Chain A
Amino acid sequence: MLEEGILSLELPYRDPLDVRAFSFGIDAKGKVLGKGADPSTLERSLCVVAGIRGDEILQTLVCALLVERLEKMERSKALVPGCLTRVIPCANPASMGIGRRFWPLDKTDINRMFPGSPEGETTRRIAAGLFAQVSGFSYGVHLSSFYLEGDFIPHVRVMHGPGERANHGADFCLPYVTHYEPGSFDTTTLHYNWRLHGTEAYSFYTRKTTVADEVIAREAVQSLLRFMSARGLTRQQFHGGHRTFELAERALVPVHVPVGGVCCPVVRVGDVVGRGQLLATVRDLLCGHVTARVVAPCDGVVFYHARTPLVNERTLAFQIVPDDADEVKATLA
């Protein structure tokens, strides 16, 4: 294992920003792939990034546990020679350290700054510095979180945009792979820029974000190892997992609450629900009267569930995978 600082920046009144990366792999002669190993010269390589936002704690924990696993696998020679795996558990320790999601001073989101600019604003510089260290890999996995607070069925998202089109999302053996077309908002994400520059990228969504839950984190680690095994980065086999269903993100059925209040859900993500089944009740926050009953608009599986106890009128409370959703072909055109 090679641990190195890949990015540093002076911060006022604080220690400098210090982003750490952990690299694993040996060359064909059994020598540890040294500092500055160039992934684009290797046959296969994988980069896993988390913690671009400071509240993506579970995502960082997943990476930390992955580092621990890969250390053991490297020692037991379970990694395929000539392949490099780099893990960056926390790309934004400056925000995570003080419990902020976004950049401490200007509140910008580093995942809206890619590919970044070395001469630009602070978070653009960080994005540029980070991108230089994660480019050139065959595979890229960004453990990310949704812009609305909530819990998900574990899944990976695959973008259909310019650049790399390959899709082996089913190799994670998660219940779902969702496919989406990039909007104008997506062009500054790591995922978009990875694909644009030839890396087969995935955004990996864990069940939760702001908690340190080792059971959920280990599930995700296992899924990343299954991907590594299927893509030929390790000889070791990892059992378990799901037969993945791949669908277009726009096929998800949104369920909104009709009124503001306190929302008490009666289902959880992963639950199978029938059309008309009660999903949640909304009560008046002050007098407790039930003001709305939120029901499933179709037969399906609860995919997303908003985490906020208090809801506004029209808050997106659930997303359902409808039973009649079309399966998307695993390989992209």
Chain B
Amino acid sequence: MLRDVSVRELPTGERMRIVKHRYMPVGLSETEVSCLPRACIITGMHGDELEGQYVLYELIRRLRSQPQHLAGVVDVYPAVNPMGMGAIERGIPQFDLDMDRIFPGSHDASPFEAMAADLVEDVRGAQVAFDLHASSIYLRELPQIRINEESVGCTLPLARLANVDYVWVHESAVVLKGTFAYSMNKLGVPTLVTKAGVGMRITPEVGEQLAIGILSVLAQAGVWTGPLPLVRAPQVGTDGEVSYLHADAAGMFVPCVTFGREVKEGQVIGRILDCGSATVLQELCAPVGGLLFTLRAYPLVYPGNLIARVLGGAPC
């Protein structure tokens, strides 16, 4: 069942709308399901992130194939930044702010902030929520969940079930208060932010891996009673356990390792080239040994651009 969550008119008369698809147990009415547990899955916050679309496809396909196991409501919001998705633009067209920095939204400012407020209102009261992100077009990420220290009590147990490779617990000092997840966690809806794959692309394995993870969390929330999928145990790490590798030269980055594997300390991750003169401007080596969970996907680099993140022992 498709319904509008928030609608605003554009100058051309077109309507900008955040919509949701509702999946609920067969044979029950709207009123009958209102007391059942509900899960909300939003994606498309950043219009250049498409991985979440395929996660939804894989998830809903599974829900549909065994409707008898649906014990609660699943609300799916495929494009909470619809105009950005349409333009494959990270932000909201005609608006400077990152949508994931304007929550809980406001009815006193722009229409976009009002739409954010409408979305919060709609998700409020759910048992669990997911905000599915890919990554920017610049970096490829192993499926991971980012949570902050403040909400670790209610989100970490769920994150462990979500079939991701890595759960990254951020210190509360670096918590961004304007995010959807921050607002929802404050309102008592445990909200998991997944980051997986790369911007502007779909990685089929990512979709399958996360769809299974979401099913497993839905089971925990009492929304799904089907056979429990087998999920992987994630590595859990804090800010101090992640090492960063940045570019110091400007040129074309070409990797020479396989993404998502363990690397050794000092191993060459890739090179920055000046192709016209066939010169290696910089050779980039792993700062520590560990899991290479982030790797630059966009070849053009400026000095300072992030090349890789490695989950390993804190470098001394």
Give the docked Cα–Cα distance between A185 and B302 (Å): 26
Residues from chain A with Cβ under 8 Å of B97 in the complex: 147, 185
Cβ-neighbour of A313 out of B90, B111, B244, B306 (below 8 A) = B111
Contact of A260 with B by CB under 8 A: yes
Residues from chain B with Cβ under 8 Å of A122 in the complex: 302-305
Contact B90 A107 (CB under 8 A): yes
Contact A284 B304 (CB under 8 A): no
Contact bitstring B175-213, A, C-beta under 8 A = 1, else 0: 011100000000000000000000000000000000000
Cβ-neighbour of B109 out of A9, A311, A316 (below 8 A) = A316
Contact A121 B304 (CB under 8 A): yes
Contact of A106 with B by CB under 8 A: yes
Interface residues on B, range: 35 or more
Give the docked Cα–Cα distance between A308 and B109 (Å): 15
Contact of A124 with B by CB under 8 A: yes
- In the complex, identify which listed stretch (B11-19, B63-71, B227-235) lies at the interface while the others stay far away: B11-19
Residues from chain B with Cβ under 8 Å of A228 in the complex: none
Q: Which of A263-288 contact B (CB under 8 A)?
A: 284-286
Contact of A162 with B by CB under 8 A: no
Contact A254 B246 (CB under 8 A): no
Q: Which of A65-115 contact B (CB under 8 A)?
A: 101, 105-107, 109
Contact of B4 with A by CB under 8 A: no
Q: How far is the CB of B93 from chain A (nearest CB, A)?
A: 11
Known contacts A11-B250, A184-B177, A185-B97: does B109 contact A125 (CB below 8 Å)?
no
Contact bitstring B207-248, A, C-beta under 8 A = 1, else 0: 000000000000000000000000000000000000010100
Give the docked Cα–Cα distance between A124 and B176 (Å): 16
Residues from chain B with Cβ under 8 Å of A11 in the complex: 250, 302
Contact B300 A9 (CB under 8 A): no
Give the docked Cα–Cα distance between A261 and B94 (Å): 15
Contact A109 B251 (CB under 8 A): no
Q: Which of B85-115 contact A (CB under 8 A)?
A: 90-91, 94-97, 101, 108-111, 114
Known contacts A259-B9, A312-B8, A314-B110: does B250 contact A12 (CB below 8 Å)?
yes
Residues from chain B with Cβ under 8 Å of A125 in the complex: 303-304
Contact of A148 with B by CB under 8 A: yes
Give the docked Cα–Cα distance between A316 and B110 (Å): 6
Contact of B249 with A by CB under 8 A: yes
Contact B11 A12 (CB under 8 A): no
Contact of A324 with B by CB under 8 A: no
Q: How far is the CB of B62 from chain A (nearest CB, A)?
A: 36
Q: How far is the CB of B95 from chain A (nearest CB, A)?
A: 8
Q: Which of A144-175 contact B (CB under 8 A)?
A: 147-148
Contact of B138 with A by CB under 8 A: yes
A-B pair count, CB < 8 Å, reads: 95
Contact A119 B9 (CB under 8 A): no
Contact B16 A312 (CB under 8 A): yes
Q: How far is the CB of A146 from chain B (nearest CB, A)?
A: 9
Max count, chain B CB within 10 A of own CB: residue among A9, A10, A125: A10
Give the docked Cα–Cα distance between A184 and B91 (Å): 18
Interface residues on A, range: 35 or more
Max count, chain B CB within 10 A of own CB: residue among A107, A122, A310, A311: A122
Q: How far is the CB of A180 from chain B (nearest CB, A)?
A: 13
Give the docked Cα–Cα distance between A123 and B305 (Å): 9
Give the docked Cα–Cα distance between A285 and B251 (Å): 46
Contact B8 A10 (CB under 8 A): no
Contact B302 A260 (CB under 8 A): no
Residues from chain B with Cβ under 8 Å of A147 in the complex: 95-97
Residues from chain B with Cβ under 8 Å of A313 in the complex: 8-10, 111
Give the docked Cα–Cα distance between A123 and B172 (Å): 23
Which residue of B is nearest A262, CB measured? B11
Max count, chain A CB within 10 A of own CB: residue among B111, B136, B249, B302: B302
Give the docked Cα–Cα distance between A105 and B300 (Å): 9
Residues from chain B with Cβ under 8 Å of A119 in the complex: 244, 246
Q: How far is the CB of A252 from chain B (nearest CB, A)?
A: 10
Beyond A184-B178, A313-B111, A314-B110, list 20 extra A-B contacts (CB 8 Å).
A9-B304, A11-B250, A11-B302, A12-B301, A101-B96, A105-B302, A106-B136, A107-B90, A125-B304, A147-B96, A183-B178, A260-B13, A261-B13, A284-B13, A285-B12, A310-B12, A312-B8, A312-B9, A313-B8, A315-B110
Closest 10 CB pairs of A and B: A310-B11, A260-B9, A184-B177, A122-B304, A313-B9, A314-B111, A12-B250, A147-B96, A10-B250, A125-B304
List 20 A–B pairs whose Cβ atoms lie within 8 Å, in order of A's numbering: A10-B249, A12-B302, A106-B136, A109-B96, A119-B244, A119-B246, A120-B304, A122-B305, A125-B303, A184-B178, A185-B97, A185-B101, A260-B13, A284-B13, A286-B12, A312-B8, A312-B10, A312-B16, A313-B10, A316-B109
Interface residues of B (CB under 8 A from A): 8-13, 16, 90-91, 94-97, 101, 108-111, 114, 136, 138, 176-178, 244, 246, 249-251, 300-306
